[in-house]
């Protein structure tokens, strides 16, 4: 598989004054398309991007830490969701503002959202809250916040007053993130993220976030109507796999990404 070097006009830039506001750094690669990847617990935007760009190549070629939201335990990150709500909401507003900025230049189908570890969890919950599909989602070694609640929605088949499973699930995500609602009972695929191709990868030897949480996330997202590709890697721990997972991500993007015209 051929390498995909950055275009010569691509720019790596940091958006907003995160350090002053106590938020994790968020770095964006922008050219004719935009990729937004959220780092994991304890990392930072610049550190994650440098490591990813240096090592994330294809086969051819009690301390204060940064976090997107509070966690009671990495052993079972889907528990104690009440502790996560404030951080999820604040971080989602920040990342959604970045998405809005990028969409002034590139169309939604040119945007890839994703993340590693807690960044994957943050990003996938933001994805559920979107009022439109984007070009793709890439999650590595992560989980789905409020997975139990979303799974219960699927099990019960929606809610009262004619609300669909999709509407109820999207409504839950937007409610947790304190996003103002429109009429969720009449939502269609075109007015949610559900047409977004989604890739989830996880190492079977992940000692921090067990592979079962990736599997639970994939099944729940698929049951809500997303087209989910999920892969596990036998010898991989809590990181992204080189070259296998990187090759799979590149193949996934080549197969699913359809770029639109950018705004000059």
CATH number at residue 220: 3.40.50.1820
Overall size of the chain counted in residues: 264
Among 171-185, 189-203, 210-224, the minimum mean pLDDT is found in 171-185
Examine residue 218 and state whether it is found in any structural domain, yes or no.
Answer: yes
Contact 40, 117 (CB under 8 A): yes
Examine residue 17 and state whether it is found in any structural domain, yes or no.
Answer: yes
DSSP output for 50-78: HHHHHH---TT-------SS--S-SSSTT
Q: How many domains does the chain have?
A: 1
121, pLDDT greater than 60: yes
Q: Strand 27-30 relative to strand 111-116: parallel, antiparallel, unpaired?
A: unpaired
Cα dihedral 200, 91, 75, 201, rounded to 10, equals: 10
* DSSP label of 207: S
Confidence of residue 155 (pLDDT cuts 50, 70, 90): confident
Examine residue 4 and state whether it is found in any structural domain, yes or no.
Answer: no
Range of the domain at 155: 11-256
In the predicted model, what is the mean pLDDT of residues 102-116? 91
Examine residue 84 and state whether it is found in any structural domain, yes or no.
Answer: yes
Examine residue 262 and state whether it is found in any structural domain, yes or no.
Answer: no
Q: Which of 47, 49, 55, 54 is nearest to 30 (CA)?
A: 49
Examine residue 216 and state whether it is found in any structural domain, yes or no.
Answer: yes
* Spatial separation of the C-alpha atoms in residues 224 and 153, rounded to whole Å: 9
């Amino acid at each position: 598989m051929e390498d995909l070097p950055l275009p010569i006009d691509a720019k790596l830039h940091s958006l907003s004054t995160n350090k002053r506001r106590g938020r994790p750094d968020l770095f964006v690669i922008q050219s004719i398309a935009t990729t937004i990847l959220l780092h994991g617990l304890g990392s930072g935007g610049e550190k994650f991007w440098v490591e990813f760009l240096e090592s994330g190549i294809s086969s051819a070629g009690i301390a204060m830490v940064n976090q997107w939201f509070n966690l009671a335990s990495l052993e079972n990150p889907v528990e104690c969701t009440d502790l996560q709500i404030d951080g999820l909401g604040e971080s989602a507003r920040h990342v959604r503002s970045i998405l809005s900025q990028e969409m002034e230049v590139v169309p939604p189908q040119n945007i890839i959202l994703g993340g590693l570890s807690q960044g994957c969890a943050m990003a996938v919950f933001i994805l559920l809250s979107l009022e439109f599909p984007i070009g793709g989602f890439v999650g590595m070694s992560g989980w789905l916040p409020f997975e139990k609640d979303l799974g219960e929605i699927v099990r019960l088949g929606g809610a009262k007053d004619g609300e669909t499973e999709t509407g109820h699930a999207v409504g839950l995500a937007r409610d947790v993130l304190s996003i103002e609602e429109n009429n969720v009972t009449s939502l269609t695929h075109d007015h949610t993220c559900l047409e977004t191709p989604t890739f989830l990868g996880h190492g079977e030897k992940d000692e921090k976030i067990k592979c079962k949480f990736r599997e639970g996330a994939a099944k729940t997202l698929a049951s809500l109507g997303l087209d989910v590709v999920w892969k596990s890697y036998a010898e991989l721990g809590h990181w992204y796999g080189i070259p296998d997972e990187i090759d799979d991500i590149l193949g996934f993007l080549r197969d699913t990404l359809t770029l639109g015209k950018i705004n000059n």
